[in-house]
Structure 1
Amino acid sequence: MRLLALLLPVVLLAGCGAPEPADAPASIRLLVFGAPEELEAFRTLVSAYGKAAPGAEVQLIEASDREDLITRLSTSIAGGSPPDLFLMNYRFYGQFAAKNAIESLDGRLAKSTVVKSEDFYPQAMGAFRWRDQQLCLPQNASSLAVYYNRTLFKKFGVAEPKPGWTWNDLITTATAMTRNASGAIVRGTEAEGGSARVAVYGLGVEPVMIRVAPFVWSNGGQIVDNDRKPTRFTFDSPAAREALRNFVELRLAYGVVPTDEEVEAEDDASRFANGRLAMLLESRRVTTTFRTIKDFEWDVAPLPTYGQRVGILHSDAYCITRGSKAKDAAWRFLEFAVGPEGQRIIAGTGRTVPSNIEVAKSSAFLDPAQPPRNAQVFLDAIATVKPVPTISTWPEIEDVTGGILENALYRGDKLDDVIRQLDEQTRPLFARGETP
């Protein structure tokens, strides 16, 4: 099968721990995806496990992106040869939960001497409960934050983002940080060419639902009619409409984000790492990549608000497939990965905001010697984060809405048309979806 052909070489593990029963395979396969630096973090975790588990064997399957991971997992489950474990964001696991393809962990969790439910942030644990069963255990409890280039802010004499700042403050700051090659501020649509060509943009943000949602919530609106059993988007409400309008005006009205052609040539994370983007809205996952930056100093700030502090949950978890033939071995690795030792290791790579409360509050995460210096921002946000709805068709919904929002941001589609398209094109997907 294509899945098996793409397996990485086996990583042999040695250390201490209970031996696998003689009649059960000791080898497990773990499916993950991420940027090169993220994948290296998972290799570090697997290597550390190798020093704690004698005779065990882990094969790390590295997908290139989220779409590749879902395709591989779907194909392997349908073919009867799934990986034993996979790591997936809560927004996408519902399609597999609805097909009964994920093993419930309640029984094993109740008996575990390594991990307990109360060890974890409830916001992350709750995102992986399906019909009163804990299907997966979260490795992180991240949220959306504002990464910013401190060196550029100092160079241009602009005040750095700070707690309590508002959406209007974001626009003002992004405008002040959008500069041409000579360092002059470029305003609005002046950035189309000539001497006004932008050398540094003030802000980078993807035109996707998970970037819009927290601002709708902060403005007192909702993105769907019912969080538990959604049937439609609700961007026709005044609060949601205002937040959406302000978001899609970032490009054509303010000119503070790159054009679609520029993003295609250089994505926002690369533009930030190359010193050509002052601020970037992203989750914790880019930290592993940004820690390779040598040319400037960077940090993180909380999301701006419309008055209410509301963030969006970014959490992924380890899940055991129902079709696994090595569930005991998979559970032992899972225990290690989300237990205190594993969480300290992966937090040290920069990849996660630990879902384990004790580890999150320790120096393993809040290490002042490692950027971001203000990592506490992620912990402060946990109390107010919200998940998007858990529904089996959410991946399809995100794909459809991504195209609509992209056209709105870069092409300037009329807001009424955008809201109508968001509603009409997703209602059938909501209707077809299954919920916990």
Structure 2
Amino acid sequence: MFDQAGVSYPDKNWTWNDLKQKSDQLRKGLDKQSYPLAMEFSSGQDSYFNLLLQAGDKIVLPEGKTDVANDKAIAVYRDVQGMLNAGLIQPPGEMEASDVFQSNRVAMVYAGSWWALPFSQNELIKDHIGVVPMPKMAEQAGVSHSLAFAMSAKSQHKDAAWKFIEFMSSEHAQQTLATGKVVIPANQKVAKEWG
């Protein structure tokens, strides 16, 4: 889609302003059914949590309270809203952002590492996709895309829950997550096997 619109590819040093500029160039060079960018707004993990962290927001304060309505966060929300209004971001709808990307109707998508395998196996896009870090805002930051296992303090089955947590945290289970390209595992011994 970048080639079709005559837009240079992003690189590892790009910024949020570069993303907005490329999105604007893509909007002008693509048909009206295509979009420069997609984000999954139903889950902050793929989109706005990353943007808030990059803007310098801490999301969770040291005392454990959330803070997503401060000046930095509001500036991010307004910027994204402006991009939505300008047709630079695909409007939220029934299809997830990653599905729209896989249908070759979006040039860029914020997506977690678990999408690497489906993207690489999709015949429609696999030969013309690439990966770059998220564009830098005030700082380079992002949320962790791994799995965590927890148990309720009120669980009626604590022994079974502990056994499950121990198994899923084991090197064997973590290696299965890595080699299956499910998600980059938290176990650093096998995390490199993911990619």
Larger radius of gyration, structure 1 or 2? 1
- 2:81 maps to what in 1? 248
> How far apart, CA to CA, are the structure 1 residues paired with 2:149 and 2:56?
33
> How far apart, CA to CA, are the structure 2 residues paired with 1:232 and 1:325?
33
1:220 aligns with 2:64: no
Kindly tell me: are residues 278 and 217 of structure 1, through their superposed partners in 2, closer, same or farther at Cα, counting changes over 3 Å? same
Q: Deviations over 1:297-317 (max 9, x none)?
A: 323221112231121233432
Q: Deviations over 1:312-346 (max 9, x none)?
A: 2334323356322753xx54554443222222222
> How far apart, CA to CA, are the structure 1 residues paired with 2:65 and 2:158?
36
Q: Provide the alpha-carbon RMSD of the alignment.
A: 2.7
Whichever structure has more strand as a proportion of its residues is: 1
CA contact (8 A) 2:6 2:29 kept: no
> How far apart, CA to CA, are the structure 1 residues paired with 2:73 and 2:162?
42
> How far apart, CA to CA, are the structure 2 residues paired with 1:296 and 1:242?
33
Deviation at 1:169, TM superposition (A): 0.7
CA contact (8 A) 2:24 2:88 kept: yes
Q: Which structure 2 residues correspond to residues 45-124 of structure 1 after superposition, within 5 A? A: none
- 2:14 maps to what in 1? 165
Q: Deviations over 1:364-396 (max 9, x none)?
A: 212xxxxxxxxxxxxxxxxxxxxxxxxxxxxxx
> How far apart, CA to CA, are the structure 1 residues paired with 2:38 and 2:150?
32
CA contact (8 A) 2:146 2:185 kept: no
Code of the residue aligned with 1:258 in structure 2: it is: Q
CA contact (8 A) 1:205 1:280 kept: yes
> How far apart, CA to CA, are the structure 1 residues paired with 2:194 and 2:130?
14
1:359 aligns with 2:193: no
Kindly tell me: are residues 251 and 228 of structure 1, through their superposed partners in 2, closer, same or farther at Cα, counting changes over 3 Å? same
> How far apart, CA to CA, are the structure 1 residues paired with 2:66 and 2:109?
32
> How far apart, CA to CA, are the structure 2 residues paired with 1:282 and 1:233?
21
- 2:40 maps to what in 1? 206
Deviation at 1:348, TM superposition (A): 1.7
Deviation at 1:250, TM superposition (A): 1.2
Aligned length: 189
Deviation at 1:213, TM superposition (A): 3.4
Code of the residue aligned with 1:165 in structure 2: it is: W
Kindly tell me: are residues 157 and 218 of structure 1, through their superposed partners in 2, closer, same or farther at Cα, counting changes over 3 Å? same
- 2:29 maps to what in 1? 185
Kindly tell me: are residues 279 and 232 of structure 1, through their superposed partners in 2, closer, same or farther at Cα, counting changes over 3 Å? closer
Structure 1 gaps, min length 5: 1-151, 179-183, 187-196, 367-436
CA contact (8 A) 1:204 1:258 kept: yes
- 1:324 maps to what in 2? 157
1:305 aligns with 2:141: no
Deviation at 1:269, TM superposition (A): 1.7
- 1:258 maps to what in 2? 90
Residue from 93, 97, 112 that aligns with 1:283:
112
Kindly tell me: are residues 220 and 333 of structure 1, through their superposed partners in 2, closer, same or farther at Cα, counting changes over 3 Å? closer
SS at structure 1 position matched to 2:50: helix
- Structure 1 length-normalised TM: 0.39
Q: Deviations over 1:12-62 (max 9, x none)?
A: xxxxxxxxxxxxxxxxxxxxxxxxxxxxxxxxxxxxxxxxxxxxxxxxxxx
Kindly tell me: are residues 154 and 344 of structure 1, through their superposed partners in 2, closer, same or farther at Cα, counting changes over 3 Å? farther
Kindly tell me: are residues 267 and 240 of structure 1, through their superposed partners in 2, closer, same or farther at Cα, counting changes over 3 Å? closer
> How far apart, CA to CA, are the structure 1 residues paired with 2:187 and 2:22?
35
CA contact (8 A) 2:147 2:185 kept: no
Deviation at 1:176, TM superposition (A): 2.6
> How far apart, CA to CA, are the structure 2 residues paired with 1:333 and 1:295?
38
> How far apart, CA to CA, are the structure 1 residues paired with 2:138 and 2:40?
23
Deviation at 1:245, TM superposition (A): 1.6
Q: Deviations over 1:65-95 (max 9, x none)?
A: xxxxxxxxxxxxxxxxxxxxxxxxxxxxxxx
Code of the residue aligned with 2:50 in structure 1: it is: P
> How far apart, CA to CA, are the structure 1 residues paired with 2:91 and 2:158?
49
> How far apart, CA to CA, are the structure 2 residues paired with 1:231 and 1:335?
30
Code of the residue aligned with 2:64 in structure 1: it is: K
Kindly tell me: are residues 325 and 338 of structure 1, through their superposed partners in 2, closer, same or farther at Cα, counting changes over 3 Å? closer
> How far apart, CA to CA, are the structure 2 residues paired with 1:280 and 1:365?
21
Q: Following superposition, which runs of at least 4 residues in structure 1 exceed 4 angstroms of deviation?
A: 330-333
Identity, % of aligned pairs? 24
Structure 2 gaps, min length 5: none
- Structure 2 length-normalised TM: 0.79
Code of the residue aligned with 1:305 in structure 2: it is: K
